[in-house]
Amino acid sequence: MASQLKVLAERRQFDPTLVERYRAGHPKPVAQGTFRSLGLGLITGASDDDPAAIGTYAAAGAALGPSFLWVAPLALPMMFAVVYLSSKLGQVAGQGLFGVLRQHYSRWLLYSLLATAVLGNIVEAGADLGGMAAALNVIVPVPITGMVVVLGIFVLSVQVRGYKLIRKIFRWLALALLAYLGSAILAKPDLWSVIRGTLVPTFHFNKTFFAMLVAVIGTSLSAYLYSWQSNQEVEEDISMGRRRLTDRMGTTHDELQHSRRDVALGMIFASLVMYFIMLSTAATLFHAGKREVSTATEAAQALRPLAGNAAGLLFAVGVFGVGFLAVPVMTIGAAFDVCQSFGWKHGLHAKPREAKPFYAMLFVFTVAAIALNFFGINPMKALVYAGIVQGVSTPFLMLLIMLATNNKKIMGRWINKRAINVLGWITLIAMFAATIGLTITLAM
């Protein structure tokens, strides 16, 4: 941190009082109250439980039953590690992930990671739009491709005209996903099978198991989480008037503690939804011998024990809510990544005329996501495929996050401590191991 301040001081890019502020340990203002943590954490957690995640978890529960439930509690600390380290990087460096990569790593590595991140975001955004259309098709029987276009246009307008306002509304629709908790209980699954499946990991060395494992890891640790979380820390600082990089650099113990609480709440919500979607589909579809989820109607059946004939409506509301949280997160995140990689002005705080490349990227990526739905791929299967794409590509981003947050030139005295380092490296090993297992079983 000191070396960064020295360089910037030589370039006369900051107020001299900045050094004194950090020496004195004066914190940047930290928002108070649990409600704020719940709100921001819920946005991250709900966008992590996007339509691709819902479709993947439903497919996993139907295909593998209660024996796969152990993945949810195992994924929780991994999800926390990914999002917290991304948040910490944004706070300390004062810029997003790809801004840090551009400043400290080689161009070939930057552009390679950029290509995989953008591809993963577009594929998952496209799958989410298709999943949202399929869910709405359960209650409004209109052509899915036509619905995708309408949803895509609306999402684009939301991104340009006020995502921050819209997310305050749609984040509460995400609470409809908690209906899976009630449905799982009312389905009366075998208690012993649930306990054993939750506490005892069961492995099957076959393509189906590893495809579902990679898809679940990929969709719960998606590429957009890495850049989105770091960029939101920057956006929060800018909203407080800290427009210069030097005003945003650095953090305090209080800020990091607040971030840990914020991230933990969001990831607990996401993990609970993951667990009960898998449990409810295991107790209904798997129990009935239905091993594959091909339509949104079939996925909605897991809510029937709670909602009865209104299961389709409840499913559509949940998917619709998280979809409108998640799709902008992915397309905005991809635009952040591109603009940071090339040094272009960007940010939700900027007006379209002030950041033309950023808003042009939003348009291009949203159109690309819409276009993916015209290739005739089954929308529900596309959700699982999107998770697999993310699962294969994100381990490399996690590796860079670990290297960056252990680099003193970037983090100063805020490099990772032992506990978070152990958790981070275990997460990375698990991600690579699942991908290698899938590769081997596909080659068999």
Structural domain span for residue 69: 2-23+38-443
Query: pLDDT-derived band of residue 384, with 50, 70 and 90 as boundaries?
Result: confident
Rounded alpha-carbon distances, angstroms, from residue 282 to 115, 301, 411: 36, 11, 44
169-201 pLDDT, tens per residue?
Answer: 556 666 666 777 778 888 888 899 999 999 999
194-220 pLDDT, tens per residue?
Answer: 999 999 999 888 888 999 999 898 888
266-295 pLDDT, tens per residue?
Answer: 888 888 888 988 998 898 888 888 888 877
In a domain, 197, yes or no: yes
Please tell me the predicted confidence (pLDDT) of residue 13.
40
φ/ψ region of 295 (left if φ > 0, alpha if ψ in -120 to 50, else beta) reads beta
Which CATH number covers residue 308? 1.20.1740.10
For the chain, the average pLDDT equals 80
Classify the C-alpha dihedral 221-224-225-227 as positive or negative: positive
In a domain, 32, yes or no: no
For residues 174 and 321, give the distance between their C-alpha atoms in angstroms, rounded to a whole number.
Answer: 5
pTM (two decimals): 0.83
For residues 180 and 68, give the distance between their C-alpha atoms in angstroms, rounded to a whole number.
Answer: 17
In a domain, 157, yes or no: yes
Number of domains making up the chain: 1
In a domain, 383, yes or no: yes
In a domain, 29, yes or no: no
Angle at 16 between CA 4 and CA 230, to 5 degrees: 45
In a domain, 30, yes or no: no
CB 438 within 8 A of CB 214: yes
Q: Looking at mean pLDDT, say which of 8-22, 300-314, 391-405 comes out highest.
A: 391-405
CB 291 within 8 A of CB 71: no
Structure-block tokens of residue 27? 């914190």
Average pLDDT over residues 97-118: 90
213-240 pLDDT, tens per residue?
Answer: 998 988 888 777 777 777 777 777 776 6
For residues 141 and 261, give the distance between their C-alpha atoms in angstroms, rounded to a whole number.
Answer: 42
291-324 pLDDT, tens per residue?
Answer: 888 777 777 777 777 667 777 777 877 787 777 7
In a domain, 45, yes or no: yes
In a domain, 73, yes or no: yes
Please tell me the predicted confidence (pLDDT) of residue 34.
42
